Structure 1
């Protein structure tokens, strides 16, 4: 069977975690192949995310790798794939693959922790705000691609509205709240949207005011997707060439600590809501 093309970040992550288990067990790829009645090439393709693998085979491998973490095994088995075409696949070939991987990551996440200093988090943007952001991309995007990206971004937000919405905690710096992306009317609408979203039980928005001064991680945006178990958490960072995904334990611990420190210096939710409302009022009445 030819390798799947292209492998998604989710499938690559499953393969990487299976490789970690095999290496911790001190087992070669050839020996692992013997457990499945297969060959070393197939194991290599599974571990690289080029081939899918069934839940039963994941459990067989984990058992023979002497993994006793049942929660991790269940989570890995659950990553063996949803059957059928997901909504983000309609954008394959028209948007960068990394944006599709981000949508898939969000779809399967158990929670979000986000920190932004300059931009409003994408999951909380209005269409007009998002359109303004995409019109500033370098090199400039043609109008139809701007609309593709806006459509994709808004569809990603469905994870916050479904029957089992994903919990989200966002720490946003005052600078992002005062940036008049698209002008006063669009900025006011964006702030009102933040206030409305902050009223939802599963969404917490906290603000870091200018008066706080220096704070950790001030120069970057962080998107932390909580997995079904801590080992399967993922950090996504925005880069000019597209999203970057991090999952090494040392990296995850670094960003957990960073987010904890950001939340320590941010205003509480009610104070943050009042703060945002104050900025919205300062823009004048519609």
Structure 2
């Protein structure tokens, strides 16, 4: 029995619960169909107990789920036995941060919409260190270094053998906020330009002139799953991270990011815009 299931294990259980509820079955009824104790269904749905791919397919059959791609994706999740690098930080960092790295690792695409900060995937060491120095309550030097190493390791999804496609829509305010002073800011902006040279990375800027837009007060990371029902939204908030996966929430943040993208400059114009800001520093 798991005492602290990961975000991915919780998500598998949540999706199985959604399938059961759509079928109009109680956990007791589901347990009878499968020939197990009721608490076993409850523990699986809560992420406290593992489940085999075969049992996932059996549950989907009992729940009359005809979405074969979704069932296949859930079966693959059940079959996972890897212990990712992020688990080394499970006892050091807040669980939401660790689950974020796990989510990014499994995403097929990542889309970020940011107003006040450079996205973590694009931050350089010196910029990120200054961001962590501003955390309230104040972090100790070791805690800052733990968070810094964790943030840099998260960026590996953009550099591995099969890099994850990544799009960042960044407001001009984030580009002009000088974390670490002009020299660090200039280095950070040049790094963003270098990153945008990669074919799998697209960067777009929303200039001040674009005016107001929906979602401007949030930092959004949309992780695309192997099938759309397994998409996840990560919100970076002052009181911690939040992972959202309800269908209505996913629809909402897809629309928000689409609107942000429509307002943003195209990648080529963005490069010219960022270059101009660096010239002012």
TM-score by length of 1: 0.96
Cα deviation, residue 70, structure 1: 0.6
Who is 2:134 aligned against? 136
Gaps of 5+ in 1: none
Who is 1:89 aligned against? 87
User: Aligned pair 1:41/2:11, yes or no?
Assistant: no
Who is 2:253 aligned against? 255
Who is 2:177 aligned against? 179
Q: How many residues align structurally?
A: 281
The superposition leaves residues 186-227 of structure 1 with CA deviations (integer Å, 9 ceiling, x where unpaired) of 101110110011010111000011111112211111111111
Specify which of 64, 71, 74 is matched with residue 73 of structure 1.
71
The superposition leaves residues 89-117 of structure 1 with CA deviations (integer Å, 9 ceiling, x where unpaired) of 11111111111100000000011111111
Who is 1:32 aligned against? 30
For residues 177 and 35 of structure 1, what CA distance do their matches in structure 2 show? 56
Who is 1:274 aligned against? 272
**Contact 2:219/2:237, CA 8 A, preserved across alignment:** no
Give 3-state SS (helix, strand or coil) of 1:238's partner. Answer: strand
Who is 1:207 aligned against? 205
For residues 195 and 130 of structure 1, what CA distance do their matches in structure 2 show? 17
The superposition leaves residues 173-194 of structure 1 with CA deviations (integer Å, 9 ceiling, x where unpaired) of 1110011100111101110110
Aligned positions of 1:216-255 closer than 5 A:
216-255=214-253
Who is 1:166 aligned against? 164
For residues 82 and 106 of structure 2, what CA distance do their matches in structure 1 show? 15
Give 3-state SS (helix, strand or coil) of 2:64's partner. Answer: coil
For residues 24 and 219 of structure 1, what CA distance do their matches in structure 2 show? 34
For residues 36 and 258 of structure 2, what CA distance do their matches in structure 1 show? 45
Give 3-state SS (helix, strand or coil) of 1:223's partner. Answer: strand
Give 3-state SS (helix, strand or coil) of 1:12's partner. Answer: helix
Cα deviation, residue 81, structure 1: 4.8
For residues 33 and 102 of structure 2, what CA distance do their matches in structure 1 show? 30
For residues 13 and 166 of structure 1, what CA distance do their matches in structure 2 show? 21
Cα deviation, residue 241, structure 1: 2.4
For residues 166 and 82 of structure 2, what CA distance do their matches in structure 1 show? 27
Gaps of 5+ in 2: none
Cα deviation, residue 31, structure 1: 2.5
CA RMSD of aligned residues (A): 1.0
For residues 274 and 57 of structure 1, what CA distance do their matches in structure 2 show? 54
TM-score by length of 2: 0.98
